[in-house]
Amino acid sequence: MQHQLTINNLHAGVNGEEILTGVDLTIRSGEIHAMMGPNGSGKSTLANTLMGHPSYKVTSGAVTFDGQDLIELEADERAKMGLFLAFQYPMAIPGVTMANFLRLAVSSVRNNGTSDSTTTSLIPMREFRQELRQKMKKLGIDEAFARRYLNDGFSGGEKKRAEILQLAMLEPKIAILDETDSGLDIDAVRIVGESVNQLIGSDLGVLVITHYPRLLSYIKPDHVHIILGGRVVESGGWELAEQLEAEGYDAIREKYKEVDLDTKEQYTNTVPANV
Amino acid sequence: MAINKAQPDIGNYKYGFSDDIKPVYKSQKGLSEKVIHQLSDIKNEPDWMRQYRLEAYQIFKDKPDLDWGGDLSQLDYDDIYYYVKASDREERSWDDVPDDIKNTFDRLGIPEAEQKFLSGVGAQYDSEVVYHSIEEELDKIGVIFMSTDQALQEHPDLFREYFGTVIPSADNKFAALNSAVWSGGSFIYVPPGVKVSYPLQAYFRINTENMGQFERTLIIADEGAEVHYVEGCTAPIYTSESLHSAVVEIICKPKSRVRYTTIQNWANNIYNLVTKRAMAHEDATMEWVDGNLGSKLTMKYPSVYMVGERAHGEILSIAFASQGQHQDAGGKVVHLAPNTTSKITSKSISKDGGRATYRGLLKVGSGAANCKSNVVCDALILDSESQSDTYPYIEIDEQDVTIEHEARVSKIGEEQLFYLMSRGISEEDASTMIVNGFIEPLVKELPMEYAVEMNRLIQLQMEGSVG
């Protein structure tokens, strides 16, 4: 089955500041896209806006999933449609085990049709355990991991593993990987890269958002986009990534000077968090 | 002397009892010496207990009202039955039981017979069968587990040795009240070296007497003994009597270990004012696990007095205050011997205008050198109408101590909610999940079936709380 996430002239921001200034992008099942850009270009804002973070407001433009509008939907509804975001900094939920959390998440996503009852009916424990064990084994994750409290006291690498495990269990149609800072953590890069490759079949559509070209040596994208000043300024194939690796962001900045000036101004004046 | 059965002559009553004629006792409101005499007569108590009660009543009358704590202004002492015989209890019609109580029963899967009992529709719940088989096993290892009334009759010396030694009548106004009119409760004695391998539960023996307003529980763990007692149940208890004032005394002899678990879910019309205290001797450990979900007002501060070296006291307290509720709870740890350790963990949640208060005392007496104590109070406030307060009292009279105290207040974080929702979990389920995670340290310590019920109750409480 083919799925499609379409982003059309998307304008969005936080605290009244516009950060996305007209993003156009389409991701289909089976495609691997990479979104690259310097600090302050809007990468994390894009990720959070697509997933429906309450602080980010869309001011104009459209986002559709298989033709259905996403902007009016809450985060949980978007997840049920088949969208997934692997966070850069996953939140800790003390006292809640990975296993219990996953069971509720998977049950919620698969229960999509039964919205009549007030209580979500959970997947039978045995069935769930079997599936969880199987997937953890495939990803090389120790079974004891499931008994730990969600992201509580996890190292950077463990948080990455937890995100990938969720991706494996939830089986989304389109996955966004926010890897903006991961280039500095060799372990994280490798974990994400290897696992995602394992999970990418002909079905999953992927958007990897990153600052560092290094990650892309693990996940080879078919399409590379460069984001600057809150919009996509250039798109191409793998060669674009190689060019960035060789020249850094200066060349691109120079080429799109006006767009870049907008970014610089915003960045120095307001310094929004996690742009 | 003739006793008129239609209208009991109170003046002759106490002499009449020793005859073979069964006296007719009519339940009446209000407290007086007469009521106490009647009570003691019906129970056929030894004189010393009658005197004890009368003295306690005097103390109760003399003690001033509390000038701290929850709002007791609506409590009318004269409008309360202080003793009601089981057979006199009015049978309530099932139709009169509030809908939310019935709803909770259904959601917890409580069997019909129990439902009727817990809501006062039936006078007696027959759990005798369960109780008797446990009784036989305990008998073999020398453990005494019976109602406090029975223990006074069957083990008078043991009873008298310990009764009132941990909480004297003069301790506070409500301890005095309880000492005057106590009825029901559990008496447990565990012989030296005996470790009871499964929790003893009040629920085994449930009947109207045990759900009484003025329970008195006395637990004695002899040297090296171990026992876990579970009081209460998660199902809501609905009675028309609005004052519940219990007293629990626990003696932990050297090297013994006692855990006392309570999950209280009284209906929202009830004042629940309780004094609970344990004496921990050398190398003994006392653990209080205290869950407060119901009642209109609960005032309860389980305490551990560490009177022997190397004693250890722990209090794990959870309070959930919803609309119209005030949970004023916490704990007291008093170090009176060197090398003692204690830990208080308090978690409170308030929602829909409820008020959760932590009130705690950490006291180290002079001479109690090298003590360590750790106190953590965490409060979760779920909306802007609700309230949380913290009153920690710390009194240290010794130089060589290590004290840690932490107090935190939080609400459900937007980022946490968003994270869970981004995985397909609804906002309501996500909030419930976060709250469950918050109280996990306590739920982990509960016997399995209580943990399951506790989670279900939290879910119920959280339903409809998300606008």
pLDDT, tens digit (0-9, with 9 covering 90-100), for B317-350: 999 999 999 999 999 999 999 999 999 999 999 9
Per-residue pLDDT tens over the stretch B3-33? 333 333 333 333 222 233 344 555 677 889 9
Q: Residue B385: CB partners within 8 Å, gap ≥ 6?
A: B352, B353
Q: What's the confidence (pLDDT) of residue A199?
A: 77
Whether B33 and B105 share a structural domain:
no
| CB-CB under 8 Å, B422 with A85 | yes
Asked if the structure places residue B467 within a domain, the reply is no
Q: Residue A36: CB partners within 8 Å, gap ≥ 6?
A: A209, A210, A211, A213, A224, A225, A226, A227, A241, A244
Strand B303-306 relative to strand B326-335, pairing: parallel
**% of chain A beyond a pLDDT of 70:** 88
Residue B415, helix vs strand vs coil: helix
Q: What's the confidence (pLDDT) of residue A183?
A: 53
Residue whose structure tokens are 């495990």: A165
Of B375, B394, B413, the residue that ends a domain is B413
- Chain A hits for B416, CB-CB cut-off 8 Å, are 91, 93
Mean pLDDT of A72-86: 96
pTM (two decimals): 0.81
Whether B129 has a pLDDT exceeding 60, the answer reads: no
Lowest-pLDDT choice from A222-226, A241-245, B313-317? A241-245
Ordered structural domains, chain A, with CATH: 4-89+172-270 (3.40.50.300)
Q: What's the confidence (pLDDT) of residue B301?
A: 97
Q: What's the confidence (pLDDT) of residue B240?
A: 61
Of B393, B413, B433, the residue that ends a domain is B413
Asked if the structure places residue B149 within a domain, the reply is yes
Chain A nearest-CA distance from B455, in A, is 12
Whether B333 and B262 share a structural domain:
yes
- Would an 8 Å CB–CB cutoff place B433 in contact with chain A? yes
Q: What's the confidence (pLDDT) of residue A270?
A: 46
Asked if the structure places residue B213 within a domain, the reply is yes
- Chain A hits for B421, CB-CB cut-off 8 Å, are 52, 74-76, 79
pLDDT mean across residues, chain A: 86
Asked if the structure places residue B397 within a domain, the reply is yes
Asked if the structure places residue B465 within a domain, the reply is no
Whether B235 has a pLDDT exceeding 90, the answer reads: no
Q: What's the confidence (pLDDT) of residue A80?
A: 96
Per-residue pLDDT tens over the stretch A124-141? 999 999 999 999 998 888
Asked if the structure places residue B316 within a domain, the reply is yes
Q: What's the confidence (pLDDT) of residue A261?
A: 60
Whether B394 and B408 share a structural domain:
yes
B259 to each of B190, B264, B280, B320, how far by Cα in Å?
13, 16, 12, 22
Whether B325 and B315 share a structural domain:
yes
**% of chain B beyond a pLDDT of 90:** 57
Question: Concatenated DSSP letters for A49-118?
Answer: HHHT-TTEEEEEEEEEETTEE-TTS-HHHHHHHTEEEE-SSPPP-TT-BHHHHHHHHHHHHHTTT--SSS
Nearest one of B214, B263, B203 to B458, comparing CA atoms? B263
B330 to each of B83, B361, B451, how far by Cα in Å?
29, 8, 21
Is residue B112 within a helix (H) or strand (E), and if so which, with residue range? Answer: helix B112-118
- Between the two ends of chain B, the Cα-to-Cα distance in Å is 70
Of residues A185 and B51, which shows the higher confidence score?
A: B51
Lowest-pLDDT choice from A67-71, A215-219, B66-70? A215-219
Partners of B404 in beta bridges = B374
Q: Is the dihedral of CA B51, B57, B62, B68 positive or negative?
A: positive
Whether B123 and B215 share a structural domain:
yes
Whether B36 and B52 share a structural domain:
yes
Q: For residue A135, give the amino acid letter.
A: K
Count, residues in chain B: 467
Place B109 in a pLDDT band, splitting at 50, 70 and 90. Answer: low
- Residue A247 DSSP code: H
Whether B123 and B141 share a structural domain:
yes
Whether A158 has a pLDDT exceeding 90, the answer reads: no
Whether B156 and B79 share a structural domain:
no
- Would an 8 Å CB–CB cutoff place B460 in contact with chain A? no
What number of other Cβ atoms are within 10 A of residue B421's Cβ?
A: 26
Asked if the structure places residue B167 within a domain, the reply is yes
Mean pLDDT of A239-244: 87
Whether A271 has a pLDDT exceeding 50, the answer reads: no
Interface of A with B (CB under 8 A): 51-55, 74-76, 78-80, 84-85, 87, 90-91, 93-96, 100-101, 104-106, 108-109, 118-120, 149-150, 166, 170
Whether B70 and B134 share a structural domain:
no
Q: What's the confidence (pLDDT) of residue A39?
A: 83
The domain tally of chain B equals 3
- Chain B hits for A101, CB-CB cut-off 8 Å, are 420, 423, 433
Lowest-pLDDT choice from A246-255, B24-33, B433-442? B24-33
Of residues B35 and B420, which shows the higher confidence score?
A: B420
Whether B453 has a pLDDT exceeding 80, the answer reads: no
Q: For residue B398, give the amino acid letter.
A: E
Whether B197 has a pLDDT exceeding 80, the answer reads: yes
Dihedral angle over CA of B18, B21, B23, B24, nearest 10 = 180
Nearest-by-Cβ selection for B436 from A51, A76, A95? A95
**% of chain A beyond a pLDDT of 90:** 57
Mean pLDDT of A220-240: 92
Whether B139 and B249 share a structural domain:
yes
- The whole-angstrom separation of Cα B147 and Cα B95 is 32
| CB-CB under 8 Å, B422 with A75 | yes
Nearest one of A87, A107, A50, A274 to A164, comparing CA atoms? A87
A167 φ/ψ angles, rounded to the nearest 5 degrees: -60, -45
Partners of B343 in beta bridges = B314, B374
Instruction: Give the angle B421-B422-B426 at the CA atoms, nearest 5°.
Output: 25
B225: domain range? 99-413
Of residues B102 and A248, which shows the higher confidence score?
A: A248
- Between the two ends of chain A, the Cα-to-Cα distance in Å is 34
| CB-CB under 8 Å, B413 with A91 | yes
- The whole-angstrom separation of Cα B221 and Cα B311 is 14
- Would an 8 Å CB–CB cutoff place B419 in contact with chain A? yes
Whether B140 and B65 share a structural domain:
no
- The whole-angstrom separation of Cα A174 and Cα A164 is 14
Of residues B48 and B200, which shows the higher confidence score?
A: B48
| CB-CB under 8 Å, B415 with A91 | yes
Lowest-pLDDT choice from B7-21, B224-238, B274-288? B7-21
Place B208 in a pLDDT band, splitting at 50, 70 and 90. Answer: very low
| CB-CB under 8 Å, B419 with A87 | yes
pLDDT mean across residues, chain B: 84
Partners of B363 in beta bridges = B334, B395
- The whole-angstrom separation of Cα B359 and Cα B379 is 12
Q: What's the confidence (pLDDT) of residue B26?
A: 58
Of B61, B91, B121, the residue that ends a domain is B91
- The whole-angstrom separation of Cα A152 and Cα B53 is 54
Residue B381, both tokens: 């406030």
Per-residue pLDDT tens over the stretch B152-176? 999 999 999 999 999 999 999 999 9
Whether B251 and B398 share a structural domain:
yes
- Residue B74 DSSP code: T
Nearest-by-Cβ selection for A109 from B424, B434, B439? B424
- Chain A hits for B439, CB-CB cut-off 8 Å, are 95
Residue B52, both tokens: 């004890």
Q: What's the confidence (pLDDT) of residue B89?
A: 52
Whether A209 has a pLDDT exceeding 70, the answer reads: yes
Q: Which one of B107, B421, B440 would you mutate to disrupt binding with A, by most A Cβ within 10 Å of its Cβ?
A: B421
Helix axes A98-110, A125-138, angle to 10 degrees: 110
- The whole-angstrom separation of Cα A30 and Cα B1 is 101
Asked if the structure places residue B126 within a domain, the reply is yes
